[in-house]
Amino acid sequence: MEAFIAELKQSGTAEYLPGEPLSKHTTWKIGGPADLLILPRNRAELIATVKLLHKHGLGWNNLGRGSNMLVSDKGIRGVVIKPSGDLDYVRFEGTTAIAGASYSFIKLSVMAGREGLTGLEFAGGIPGTVGGAVYMNAGALGSDVSRIFKYADIVLETGELVRFESEDMRFSYRHSILHEIKGAVVEAAFELQKGERMEIASAMASNKERRIRTQPLQQPSAGSVFRNPPDDYAARLIQEAELKGFSIGGAQVSEQHANFIVNTGQATARDVLALMSHIQSTVEERFGVRLVPEVLVVGER
């Protein structure tokens, strides 16, 4: 690691922060330090960073907005890459929306609507980046990334830049090929359709009103914690198990949405994991269903 940092500093490849607390970079406001957080500001810096890591035989973890991730209290050993700067962009070419990895997925849905393009309305409440949305095949309201995905430019662990078309991505429920191979999204394109601006705006306003009414948007959370079982909803099962409001330490099952765990102020990753385990065992005992986590749990245990 020391040789890598020395070369990174000498080359000026990208900004980096040693020992950075990842609680500053996750929507749960939870997480210990990364040994080294690297913030590539553009495509060239991202590729150069990955090539340098490969040269030194070092692994790395991806981080977007940290909206679907629980980082352990001990943090992440090694390198974490968080794209920033000039990778926060969007442009439109006809009905295709092309966005950088660090662009807000919510903002992308808003900008598409302003262009009179439909297909991204479901993304209006997904608080992550474009890169994270592709990684997770993010979805809501009966739709997901796979339905509009056109291609993504991805840096592989060797530093090679490869374009992945839709058929290459192995999309399934909250899954993509990026769960199977090491890679970082640089840019992604989504194929949309022409629509009526007023209808799109109305649908998005309705979705926003529903989120405000049903989700704990004013408290730190990571969105939905568990995947929906086939033909059912995790939130329904948790609510029927009478777990709304149940807490362990600073982690609490939201009173508004049972599939959200909120940080009431001083929650640790240990609190959240204990609460998740309690939810799983209670729901399984009551209904015979084992809930599967949707959030990614990363870091040293």
Q: Which CATH entry fits the domain spanning 89-199: 3.40.80.10, 3.30.465.10, 3.40.1190.20, 3.20.20.60?
A: 3.30.465.10
Rounded mean pLDDT, 16-25: 97
Task: Give the fold, CATH level 3, of 2-85.
Answer: 3.30.43
> Boundaries of CATH 3.30.43.10 in the chain?
2-85
User: 11 an active-site residue?
Assistant: no
Phi, psi of 44 (to 5 degrees): -65, -40
> Boundaries of CATH 3.30.465.10 in the chain?
89-199
Of the listed 67, 221, 224, 254, which one is catalytic? Answer: 224
> Boundaries of CATH 3.90.78.10 in the chain?
218-298
User: 174 an active-site residue?
Assistant: yes
Strands (E), the chain: 15-21, 33-39, 60-62, 69-71, 76-81, 90-93, 96-100, 117-118, 139-140, 143-144, 149-156, 161-165, 183-191, 193-194, 247-248, 251-253, 261-263, 296-298
- Percent of the chain residues past pLDDT 90, beyond the cut: 92
Please report the pLDDT score of residue 127 as a whole number: 86
Encode pLDDT of 258-278 as tens digits: 999 999 999 999 999 999 999
Please report the pLDDT score of residue 47 as a whole number: 95
Entry pTM:
0.91
Of the listed 20, 72, 102, 174, which one is catalytic? Answer: 174
Question: What's the pLDDT band for 248 if we cut at 50, 70, 90?
Answer: very high
Question: What's the pLDDT band for 301 if we cut at 50, 70, 90?
Answer: confident
CATH 3.30.750.200 fits 218-298, yes or no: no
User: 294 an active-site residue?
Assistant: yes
Please report the pLDDT score of residue 125 as a whole number: 87
Encode pLDDT of 140-153 as tens digits: 888 999 999 999 99
